[in-house]
């Protein structure tokens, strides 16, 4: 057998093991896990028959938080296999049950692997013995991570009975429909095996043949960054579906992921592996800064606080050895910045490609760059090769018509879009969401950034907004850069560019929204809540809700409340957390901190914190009800409680009212009247 063949998978695969059906009815999951002897086969046969008859409701929107909750990600070795699915809703799965159950295949519904880009999720499945994931639809980052580590995926439920019959399945059934690079990665059993063959000259991506054509902004950026050969970057044009490697301008990771990526880099290239061009690589101590303030005694007794602190130490050692800029802890408290806020404030520029080991990397698309999240394996590869594999995505264009009401924020607009049938049926997976419209010119950069930040909640690859004078003014002011130099990176979609879909959104029809617990796509107007929702906590923070414009909104509502003689309602805890030290200074300069404190808010220094159940504002119990300005509310994401998503206006107003309310009672009447909001 040649070395090349040794790196490849066999042409036919036999899946020897049980099939785990992840069903809406979690009691059926428990039955599968608890069954012994012949009962196992009986249950599996019954569920397989129901699936074949389209009579088995499968669990959808299984997030990576449910596959590997935040605390499980403190591990990045085979230990992950013990904890797969322990974050699943209703506590349906316990430690070691999947690993010890002999499962080889797992089956579920729509949007498998939504949410965070954490590669620990597919790794946990793989190390628990899972060889194949079958789902109605598979999220983009999770799917790519699975390919990178050799975990097979499919949307063909017909495989279930064939596997039960003991049939060997051709590898080609898992590569049909993939682009040539993804196909080769699957055939080689993962990205590193493929790249070993690629760097040795035994395999190479097919040359791009796309001729000049009208292109979207993202297509143009990809074409300019396409790796052709050593020393040659850029091609004439690309089209959706083209597969290539593209050179990244900014590469970043945080302490959750850096140690795992470093471990993978060393496994592939040896203990002395070096990062290429470290000046374009950045690391952040931003996710677990306040973990010690909220970690349960149970997890402390497991030694998890020490493991989490060890991640930060490992990252610091790595960045020192590699000469990488580390955004660390601030001497006065908290972190220097949440990675996404810092990338927008300090690092990314229009026309660039930005990759980060976090799904909300797409926030930087607000600057007119192509920014997207990747997994640990992709980042380890990009550290060395500087390039990232891309299948050119289709673009969906959202044209925002009219003008949004004064009590409506960008968060409401995004919750409205996410609640559409297009997004709820997984059609947004892998797409670019391009936002346009006259009213965007009136929006501050931070409000625009909410749109791009939350594009990943649709399963999108990224969100992007064409740069304009507002973009230019922002970058020049924040970084004191030359205007002409910044403008040279400006890129725009051609008028004749092709889109997968175009939607017009009438801003004046959007009212204050809330996403009910479980998924950001559960958005409804607040006045359609079926019953009053009393809250225990309100959280204003995270990369999405801790920006400068968000501080403006919190301050406006809270100052008006103070003018009415009101403060945070008894029994409600309002947390306000800054996204960066620059944002904290902005709030201080405008007198907001005094307003926040007088109103009764607890102020928290910059960090991700509650958004990932790692800081103040995370729910302590299942009974806790929180309204939050963060970006996602998957089960267990921010603790065991019930989490509603809303705009900064709604979060602050609800904290005063003690229940989820529209903010109109705490905004200036003349502003509301000017856009036709009924004050009665």
pLDDT the model gives residue 493 = 98
Q: What percent of the chain clears pLDDT 90, i.e. is strictly above it?
A: 92
**Lowest mean pLDDT across 35-49, 187-201, 428-442:** 187-201
Distance CA 358, CA 341 (A): 13
Looking at the 3D structure of the chain, how many domains does it have? 3
Question: Could you tell me whether strands 625-628 and 642-645 are parallel, antiparallel, or unpaired per DSSP bridges?
Answer: parallel
Residue 229 lies inside a defined structural domain of this protein: no
Query: 421-446 in b/e burial notation, b at 16+ Cβ within 10 A?
Result: ebbbebbbbbbbbbbebeebeebebb
Element (H, E) at 568: none
Of the CA atoms within 13 Å of residue 72, those in its CB half-sphere come to 30
| Crossing angle of the two packed helices 140-149 and 120-127, in degrees rounded to 10 | 50
Distance CA 447, CA 300 (A): 38
Distance CA 618, CA 477 (A): 34
Q: Tokens standing for 384?
A: 């060395």
- What pLDDT, in 10s, does the model give residues 148-189? 999 999 999 999 999 999 999 999 999 999 999 999 999 999
pLDDT the model gives residue 201 = 84
Residue whose token pair is 């670019």 = 432
- What pLDDT, in 10s, does the model give residues 581-592? 999 999 999 999
* 437, 301: one domain: yes
Distance CA 282, CA 336 (A): 13
* 454, 569: one domain: no
Question: Which residues lie closer than 8 Å to 270 by C-beta, 6 or more apart?
Answer: none
Which band of pLDDT confidence, cut at 50, 70 and 90, is reported for residue 199? confident
Give the end of a domain, one of 510, 541, 566: 510
Residue 658 lies inside a defined structural domain of this protein: yes
* 412, 299: one domain: yes
Which band of pLDDT confidence, cut at 50, 70 and 90, is reported for residue 341? very high
Distances (CA, A) of 417 to 81, 424, 457, 505: 36, 10, 10, 8
- Mean pLDDT over 218-226 rounds to 98
- Quick one: residue 231, left, alpha or beta (phi over 0 = left, psi -120 to 50 = alpha)? left
pLDDT the model gives residue 230 = 78
Q: Tokens standing for 296?
A: 């349960």
Rounded to the nearest angstrom, the gap between the alpha carbon of residue 636 and the centroid of all alpha carbons in its chain is 15
Asked if pLDDT for residue 463 goes beyond 50, the answer is yes
- Mean pLDDT over 501-522 rounds to 97
Give the end of a domain, one of 510, 538, 566: 510
- The domain that holds 587 is classified in CATH as 3.30.499.10
Q: What's the sign of the alpha-carbon dihedral 651, 573, 600, 609?
A: negative
* 469, 546: one domain: no
Which band of pLDDT confidence, cut at 50, 70 and 90, is reported for residue 429? very high
Distance CA 89, CA 69 (A): 11
Please give the residue that has the higher pLDDT: either 674 or 192.
192
* 533, 589: one domain: yes
Give the end of a domain, one of 486, 510, 534: 510
Residue 211 lies inside a defined structural domain of this protein: no
* 525, 506: one domain: no
Query: 575-584 in b/e burial notation, b at 16+ Cβ within 10 A?
Result: bbbbbbbbbb
Which band of pLDDT confidence, cut at 50, 70 and 90, is reported for residue 669? low
Global confidence as pTM: 0.92
- Mean pLDDT over 214-230 rounds to 95
Asked if pLDDT for residue 7 goes beyond 70, the answer is no
Are 106 and 130 contacting, i.e. CB atoms less than 8 angstroms apart?
yes
- What pLDDT, in 10s, does the model give residues 524-557? 999 999 999 999 999 999 999 999 999 999 999 9
Residue 210 lies inside a defined structural domain of this protein: no
* 320, 462: one domain: yes
DSSP symbol at 206: P
- The domain that holds 169 is classified in CATH as 3.20.19.10
Longest Cα–Cα distance in the chain: 81
* 500, 558: one domain: no
Which band of pLDDT confidence, cut at 50, 70 and 90, is reported for residue 6? very low
Residue 473 lies inside a defined structural domain of this protein: yes
Are 647 and 513 contacting, i.e. CB atoms less than 8 angstroms apart?
yes
What domain range is 541 assigned to?
A: 514-673
* 542, 498: one domain: no
- What pLDDT, in 10s, does the model give residues 58-83? 999 999 999 999 999 999 999 999 99
Q: Tokens standing for 38?
A: 């012949």
Across the chain, mean pLDDT equals 94
* 521, 495: one domain: no
* 487, 595: one domain: no
- Mean pLDDT over 15-41 rounds to 97
Residue 235 lies inside a defined structural domain of this protein: no
Asked if pLDDT for residue 18 goes beyond 50, the answer is yes
Residue 232 lies inside a defined structural domain of this protein: no
- What pLDDT, in 10s, does the model give residues 119-143? 999 999 999 999 999 999 999 999 9
Query: 169-201 in b/e burial notation, b at 16+ Cβ within 10 A?
Result: bebebbbeebbbbbbbbbbbbbbbbbbbbbeee
Distance CA 92, CA 106 (A): 15
* 357, 390: one domain: yes
Residue 295 lies inside a defined structural domain of this protein: yes
Please give the residue that has the higher pLDDT: either 513 or 670.
513
């Amino acid at each position: 057998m040649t070395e090349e063949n040794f790196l490849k998978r066999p042409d036919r695969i036999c899946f020897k093991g049980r099939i785990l059906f992840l069903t809406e009815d979690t009691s059926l999951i428990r039955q599968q896990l608890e069954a012994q002897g012949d009962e196992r086969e009986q249950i599996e046969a019954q569920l397989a028959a129901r699936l074949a008859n389209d009579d088995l409701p499968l669990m959808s929107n299984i997030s990576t938080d449910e596959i590997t909750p935040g605390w499980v990600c403190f591990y990045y070795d085979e230990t992950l296999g013990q904890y797969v699915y322990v974050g699943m809703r209703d506590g349906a799965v316990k430690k070691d049950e999947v690993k010890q159950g002999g499962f080889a295949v797992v089956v579920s519904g729509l949007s498998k692997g939504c949410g965070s880009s954490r590669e620990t999720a597919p790794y946990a499945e793989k190390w628990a013995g899972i060889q194949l994931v079958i789902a109605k639809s598979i999220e983009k980052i999770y799917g790519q991570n699975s390919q990178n580590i050799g975990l097979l995926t499919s949307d063909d439920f017909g495989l279930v009975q064939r596997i039960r019959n003991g049939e060997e399945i051709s590898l080609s059934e898992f590569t049909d429909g993939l682009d040539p690079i993804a196909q080769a990665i699957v055939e080689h059993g993962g990205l590193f095996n493929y790249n070993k063959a690629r760097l040795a000259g035994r395999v190479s991506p097919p040359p791009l043949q796309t001729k000049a054509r009208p292109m979207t902004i993202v297509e143009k950026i990809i074409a300019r960054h396409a790796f052709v050969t050593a020393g040659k970057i850029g091609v004439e044009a690309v089209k959706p579906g083209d597969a290539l490697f593209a050179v990244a301008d900014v590469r970043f990771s945080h302490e959750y992921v850096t140690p795992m990526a470093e471990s993978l880099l060393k496994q592939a290239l040896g203990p002395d592996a070096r990062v290429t061009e470290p000046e374009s690589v950045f690391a952040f101590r931003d996710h677990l800064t306040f973990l010690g303030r909220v970690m349960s005694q149970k997890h402390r007794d497991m030694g998890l606080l020490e493991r989490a602190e060890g991640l930060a130490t490992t990252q610091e050692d790595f960045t020192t050895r590699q000469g990488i800029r580390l955004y660390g802890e601030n001497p006065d408290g908290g972190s220097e910045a949440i990675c996404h806020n810092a990338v927008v404030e300090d690092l990314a520029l229009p026309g660039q490609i930005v990759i980060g080991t976090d799904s909300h990397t797409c926030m930087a698309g607000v600057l007119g760059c192509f920014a997207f999240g990747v997994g640990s394996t992709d980042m380890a590869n990009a550290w060395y090769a500087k390039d990232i594999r891309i299948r050119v995505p289709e673009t969906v264009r959202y044209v925002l018509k009219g003008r949004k009401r004064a009590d409506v924020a960008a968060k409401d607009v995004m919750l409205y879009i996410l609640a559409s049938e297009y997004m709820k049926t997984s059609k947004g997976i892998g797409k670019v969401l391009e936002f346009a419209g006259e009213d965007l010119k009136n929006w501050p950069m931070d409000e625009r950034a909410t749109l791009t930040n939350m594009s990943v909640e649709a399963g999108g690859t990224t969100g992007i907004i064409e740069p304009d004078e507002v973009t230019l003014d922002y970058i020049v002011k924040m970084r004191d850069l030359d205007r002409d130099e910044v403008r040279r990176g400006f890129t725009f979609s051609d008028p004749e560019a092709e889109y997968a879909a175009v939607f017009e959104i009438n801003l004046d029809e959007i009212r204050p929204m809330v996403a009910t617990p479980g998924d950001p796509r559960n958005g409804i107007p607040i006045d359609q809540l079926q019953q009053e929702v009393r809250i225990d906590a309100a959280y204003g923070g995270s990369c999405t809700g801790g920006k400068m414009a968000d501080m403006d909104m919190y301050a406006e509502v809270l100052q008006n409340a103070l003018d009415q003689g009101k403060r945070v309602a008894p029994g409600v805890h309002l947390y306000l957390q800054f996204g960066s030290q620059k944002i904290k200074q902005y709030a201080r300069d405008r007198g907001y901190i005094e307003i926040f404190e007088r109103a009764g808010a607890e102020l928290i220094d910059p960090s991700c914190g509650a958004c990932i159940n790692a800081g103040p504002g995370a729910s302590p119990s299942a009974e806790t009800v929180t309204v939050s300005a963060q970006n996602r509310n998957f089960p267990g994401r921010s603790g065991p409680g019930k989490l509603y998503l809303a705009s900064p206006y709604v979060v602050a107003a609800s904290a005063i009212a003690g229940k989820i309310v529209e903010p109109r009672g705490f905004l200036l009447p003349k502003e509301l009247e000017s856009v036709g909001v009924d004050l009665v």
